[in-house]
């Protein structure tokens, strides 16, 4: 304030209006001589963001009793640093590999923010893509890169701490990820020993591959080396998920006596990309085989002519496998079934078949069956015998209650093969009694009978009630 007049004046009041404006550094009243000045301060303390206007009023004893000083000011918020996203989850990452996710730093306040430190804590986490100090104007953003590179399997948690000059001096971003062990193939068993296998025979064993790692394993090739060894059931490409098993068959077929060695080679993208499974086996000489038949004599006993009887026979091999080339039957009443030739019977095992006896007539029938083979006791012979007996004769005895009608002279007997008819008369002449024997029945059939009464005028009654007779089979 300056007194520019010719005489002294007194300032009695100084008042500031407008939100955030105030006066300091002056004690009132104050008297100013001619030409004298008085310095003081006007303070602006904004309470919220935006433009503010006000007025400073001096009341004095001079010519101009009231002096106004317009006031104006602008308020802005502090710089505020925000991180997006607020957390980073890297999911599952294979050990030895890495994954990078973007993180964005934004100054959401009204003044400049300076980032002085960006620290990544936690096993396997790192940050890149920026230079410090990093100055962000109001509304400005800066992308950075956060990387997770696990050194071992298992979950990992960390934190990204961003030190800055904003209203929140430290901004934290939670970090998480899971390290996956690389895929690994584990064989079970680790080697295969087939032991002794006879030349001309084979033995099969099962091999199982397991993915014991944390990511998929792709099997691209499977080969077998060594005399007599082969594999089946493994046809690459094959994908094994973590923990998955895959089984296949390994066969040893020795071509000659002696020790054999080989291996299975599995090529994959596992941590052990070239897996070898050792194979061993010994071929042994073919021993001499013998063939036996049981029973050596097959007796069918009595069999009714017109029927047949079946009995089981067993062929067994001992010492070595035996190949039977044929079964030659001697005797027209006998036949073989249930076996096809040639047939190979492994040592210690057997095959069964059926011999059927169909007697051509009454009396004893004899025969034999011969089995030529590569056994030392070839041919092996079984004796056959059976007796044909005559078929039984069946008849049906019928009887009924006499009719109470007058002048009955006799009865007619009718027969059918279906219940309810139709029927056919089976007596050639009128039957005078109330009994009749039917001797013309056929074994294995069922017959249905009715009868009628005939009077002296040759008038025939209706059918009687029906009766049934079941004839046994032969």
CA distance 291 to 301: 26
- Per the structure block, which two tokens stand in for 121? 């804590």
The pLDDT assigned to 183 comes to 86
Per-residue pLDDT, 173: 97
CB 464 within 8 A of CB 452: yes
* CA–CA separation, 379 and 326 (whole Å): 10
Contacts of 241 by beta carbon, 8 Å cutoff, 6+ apart: 211, 216
Domains of the chain and any CATH numbers: 9-75 (no CATH), 81-180 (2.60.40.10), 185-284 (2.60.40.10), 290-389 (2.60.40.10), 396-470 (2.60.40.10)
CA distances from 157 to 66, 123, 264, 450 (A): 69, 7, 42, 101
Query: Residue 388 and residue 358: Cα distance in Å, rounded?
Result: 8
Look up residue 131 and give its two tokens: 């230079």
Q: 97-117 burial, b if ≥16 CB within 10 A, otherwise e?
A: eeeeeebebbbbbeeebbbee
Q: Which residues of the chain have pLDDT under 50?
A: none
pLDDT at 392: 80
DSSP 426: -
**What pLDDT is attached to residue 198?**
86
Predicted local confidence at residue 393, as pLDDT: 85
3-state secondary structure at position 61: coil
What are 431-465's pLDDT values in tens digits? 999 999 999 999 889 999 999 999 999 999 999 99
Could you give the C-alpha distances from 276 to 218, 224, 227, 239, 311, in angstroms and in order?
16, 10, 16, 18, 55
């Amino acid at each position: 304030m300056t007194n520019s007049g010719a005489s002294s004046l007194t300032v009695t009041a100084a008042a500031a209006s407008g939100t955030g404006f105030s006066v300091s550094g002056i004690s009132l009243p104050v008297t100013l001589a001619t030409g004298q000045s008085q310095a003081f301060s006007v303070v602006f303390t904004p309470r919220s963001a935006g433009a503010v206007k006000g007025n400073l009023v001096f009341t004095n004893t001079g010519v101009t009793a009231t002096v106004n000083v317009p006031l104006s000011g602008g308020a802005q918020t502090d710089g505020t640093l925000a991180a997006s996203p607020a957390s980073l989850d890297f999911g599952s990452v294979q050990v030895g590999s890495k994954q990078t996710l973007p993180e964005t730093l934004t100054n959401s306040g009204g003044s400049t923010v300076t980032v002085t430190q960006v620290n990544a804590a936690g096993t396997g986490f790192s940050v890149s893509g920026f230079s410090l100090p990093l100055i962000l104007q109001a509304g400005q953003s800066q992308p950075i890169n956060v990387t997770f590179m696990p050194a071992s399997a298992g979950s990992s948690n960390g934190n990204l701490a961003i030190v800055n000059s904003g209203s929140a001096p430290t901004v934290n971003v939670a970090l998480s990820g899971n390290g996956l062990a690389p895929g690994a193939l584990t064989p079970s068993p680790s080697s295969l020993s087939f032991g002794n296998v006879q030349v001309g025979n084979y033995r099969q064993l099962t091999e199982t591959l397991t993915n014991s790692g944390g990511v998929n394993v792709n099997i691209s090739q499977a080969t077998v080396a060594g005399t007599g060894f082969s594999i089946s059931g493994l046809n690459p490409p094959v994908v094994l998920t973590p923990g998955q098993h895959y089984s296949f068959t390994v066969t040893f077929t020795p071509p000659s006596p002696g020790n054999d060695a080989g291996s299975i080679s599995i090529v994959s993208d596992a941590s052990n990309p070239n897996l070898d499974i050792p194979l061993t086996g010994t071929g042994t000489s073919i021993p001499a085989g013998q063939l036996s038949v049981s029973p050596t004599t097959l007796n069918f006993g009595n069999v009714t002519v017109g029927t047949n009887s079946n009995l089981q026979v067993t062929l067994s091999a001992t010492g070595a496998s035996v190949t039977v080339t044929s079964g030659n039957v001697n005797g027209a009443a006998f036949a073989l079934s249930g076996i096809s030739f040639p047939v190979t019977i492994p040592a210690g095992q057997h095959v069964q078949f059926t011999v059927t006896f169909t007697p051509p007539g009454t009396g004893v029938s004899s025969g034999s069956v011969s089995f030529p083979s590569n056994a030392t006791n070839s041919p092996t012979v079984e004796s056959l015998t059976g007796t044909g007996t005559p078929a039984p004769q069946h008849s049906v005895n019928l009887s009924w209650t006499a009719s109470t009608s007058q002048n009955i002279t006799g009865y007619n007997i009718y027969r059918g093969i279906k219940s309810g008819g139709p029927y056919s008369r089976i007596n050639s002449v009128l039957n005078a009694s109330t009994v009749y024997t039917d001797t013309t029945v056929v074994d294995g059939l069922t017959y249905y009978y009715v009868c009628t009464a005939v009077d002296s005028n040759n008038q025939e009654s209706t059918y009687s009630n029906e009766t049934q007779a079941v004839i046994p089979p032969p």
